[in-house]
A and B are shown apart, each in its own frame.
Chain A
C-alpha cells in the first residue's frame, strides 16, 4: 500500500491503526514503509479521504 501525500489530510488516524507499525508520520502526512506493509488494507478501509491505495 502507498499513501498519496496530496490526498492525505494528515489526520494521523491510520498511523495508530496499522497492525504492524508500518506507517510513519512525516512532515505531518502519513507515509508507509512498503517493506514492512503486509497489505492488510486497514489504512485504506479507515481513511476518510481515500489517500491509501495500491
Chain B
C-alpha cells in the first residue's frame, strides 16, 4: 500500500524537530505532530544549560558564531539567542557555606546558559520551510501499533481520534512517552527512581551574591519537607532584556500530601527560605512545571518500525543537546532504512554506546555524589567549610560533577578522619548509597 508519509514524528521538542529537519533535507515525506498549539513555546521546566564537557554522550558541543557545534557528529545548528557563560558551580549548604567549582573549559566556563525558546523557534522555522514536512500542532499522539509494512499512529485532534499510517514512526514525545507506553516497552524498564514533580520560575530583581553561576542548594534545611533539589542560574530572556533574569527550579519526589508540592517548596524558598533576602525585590515573570517518572533508559530504542528518540527513551537526561544529537543520528538511520531496508540497528548501537545511563556503573557514580543529600545539614556545612579557598575545577554535568564534589571533599579526608571519624566512615560508604536513598524517594 502506498503511504502518504514515510515518517510520522510524535513530538516536536528538540529531538522531534531535529529528526524532522534532517529527514526533510533528505527528501522524506514527514508528518510532525505536537500537542502544543504554539510548538516553540516552552512551558516545561528546563534549566537549558549547554553541557560543554568533552565526552558528554561521546560528543563535544560548543557555541561559537551564533550556532551550536557538534564536533564528533560534524553538524551545527543555528541559535539566534544570547548566551550567558556560567563561570562557576556554587553549592550552598543550608548554613550558607559554599563549595565552589570553577569552569574547566578553555574559556573557564562550567556550562552555557541559553534560551530554549529561541533555539526551538529556529528549528521549527527550518522544519516549516521544508516542502516535504507537514506540521500538525494541537495534535496529541496516543498510541502506535506496528503493522506488516509500517506503523499506525493514533492521534487526537480537536477532541476526535484518527489514525495516520507511515513506514516508520518516531517517538519523540519526551519523558513518559505515550508511544513507548503503548508499545509495552516500559515493562522492560525499572522505575525504582520514583516520580518527581518540578516547579520553576523566572525572576527579575534577584540579589544573587553569586553572579554567572550555577547555584545548587544542598541539604535538607532548604525545604519544608526536607527533600528535593533546588537550582538557580541566570537565563537569557528575550522578554526582559534590560535586566538579569534568574530561573529558580525546585524538584521534589511526588509523594502526595502531606508532603509539600514543588510549588509549595518554591514559594517557601522564595519567601521564608534561608536565602529569602535574595528575593526581597524579585518579580516573578513566569512559572513552569514538570512531572516525571524516573525510569531507567530504554536500552533498545527500536521496536519494529518505531524508533524512540531523545527523552522518550530515557528520563530527562538526554539534555537538549542529546535530544538534538540523537535526532540527527536517528534521522540518518531512518533515511538509510527507507532507502535500503536496513539502518535502524546502527542507531540502536550508537544510542546504547553513547548514552551514559545505559551503563549501570554511571548511575552508580552519579548517585555516589548525590549521596551528599543524605547527610545532615551540619555535616554538609562542615564539609563545604573545609573546601573554602580550594581551587576546584569541573563542569556542570551530572555524570561527572558528583565525582568532582566527592574529590574535593575527599582531599580533606585526613582532617575529617581526625575531627569527625563517624562522618569519614559515612563518606567512605557512599559507594553503597542506593539510588533510592540518594534521590530520597524512600520514607525518611
Residues of A within 8 A of B (CB): 9-17, 21, 24-28, 41, 44-50
Contact partners of B36 in chain A: CB under 8 A: 10, 12, 25, 28
The 7 A-B residue pairs with the shortest CB-CB distance, nearest first, are A13-B291, A10-B43, A48-B262, A46-B291, A48-B289, A25-B35, A48-B197
Asked if B22 is at the interface of the complex by the 8 Å CB criterion, the answer is no
- Which chain B residues numbered 189 to 245 have a C-beta less than 8 Å away from chain A? 195-199
Nearest A-chain residue to B143, judged by Cβ: A21
Nearest A-chain residue to B142, judged by Cβ: A21
Could you say which interface size class chain B belongs to?
35 or more
Q: Shortest beta-carbon distance, A28 to chain B, in Å? A: 5
Q: Shortest beta-carbon distance, B387 to chain A, in Å? A: 32
Interface of B is mostly: mixed
- Which chain B residues numbered 15 to 58 have a C-beta less than 8 Å away from chain A? 35-38, 41, 43-45
Asked, given contacts A28-B36, A28-B37, A48-B199, whether A14 binds B140 with beta carbons under 8 Å apart, the answer is: no
Asked if B176 is at the interface of the complex by the 8 Å CB criterion, the answer is yes
A46 close to B197 (CB less than 8 A): yes
Interchain CA distance A3-B383 in the complex, whole Å: 44
B262 close to A12 (CB less than 8 A): no
Nearest B-chain residue to A14, judged by Cβ: B291
Asked if B293 is at the interface of the complex by the 8 Å CB criterion, the answer is yes
Q: Shortest beta-carbon distance, B14 to chain A, in Å? A: 15
Q: Shortest beta-carbon distance, B251 to chain A, in Å? A: 8
Q: Shortest beta-carbon distance, B332 to chain A, in Å? A: 27
Asked, given contacts A46-B197, A49-B199, A49-B262, whether A27 binds B291 with beta carbons under 8 Å apart, the answer is: no
- Which chain B residues numbered 141 to 199 have a C-beta less than 8 Å away from chain A? 142, 156, 159, 173-174, 176-178, 181, 195-199
A11 close to B290 (CB less than 8 A): yes
B287 close to A49 (CB less than 8 A): yes
A17 close to B293 (CB less than 8 A): yes
Contact partners of B174 in chain A: CB under 8 A: 12, 16
Tell which of B159, B177, B256 touches A16, judged by Cβ atoms closer than 8 Å.
B177
Interchain CA distance A6-B214 in the complex, whole Å: 31
Q: Shortest beta-carbon distance, B189 to chain A, in Å? A: 14
Asked, given contacts A9-B43, A25-B140, A45-B256, whether A15 binds B35 with beta carbons under 8 Å apart, the answer is: yes
Asked if B85 is at the interface of the complex by the 8 Å CB criterion, the answer is no
